[in-house]
Amino acid sequence: MDNKILGKKIRNERRKLDLTQEQLAEAVKVTSPYIGQVERGERGISVENLVNICNRLGVTVDYILGDYYPKTHDEYYKGQWSKLMQGRTDFEQAFVIKIVESTLQNIDVLLDDFTNAFMEANPNMRKKAGSATQTDNRASK
């Protein structure tokens, strides 16, 4: 495990909450020099302290450790979804799910509309897209 990456993520999350190292240290019952050493990657961290810090910062241990382990395609998008939903109420989450479901039901139409609008706004792209299509058609014969 790269302590510097871990420390940087902890520091970033702490700063998002406008917490000082002293405030975080007091909340999780460690010293502020310890927090500083962890954030600089100079010191490892116990599982207990990591869990306590994550709980205070309002993030999951998985989120903090997420960059250490290779993710599958699905795991990456699940992580992205978790980040987007973090801190949202149940109502907000349900609302977003309904929006996504509606979008997915109409995705073919939306993609066609977007593609047409994009091509109209970028006429130079039409040539490139057309020549690629012609090349692809010839290759498949």
Mean pLDDT of 105-122: 87
Contacting residues for 40 by C-beta, under 8 A, at least 6 apart: 4, 7
Residue-wise pLDDT for 101-111, tens only, equals: 988 888 888 88
For the chain, counts of helices (H) and of strands (E) = 9, 0
C-beta separation of 59 from 6 below 8 A: no
Q: Does CATH place domain 3-68 in 1.10.260.40?
A: yes
- Split at pLDDT 50, 70, 90, the class of 98 is very high
pTM of full prediction above 0.85? no
Q: How far apart are CA 31 and CA 51, in angstroms?
A: 16
Q: How far apart are CA 15 and CA 137, in angstroms?
A: 54
The domains of the chain are located at 3-68, 73-140
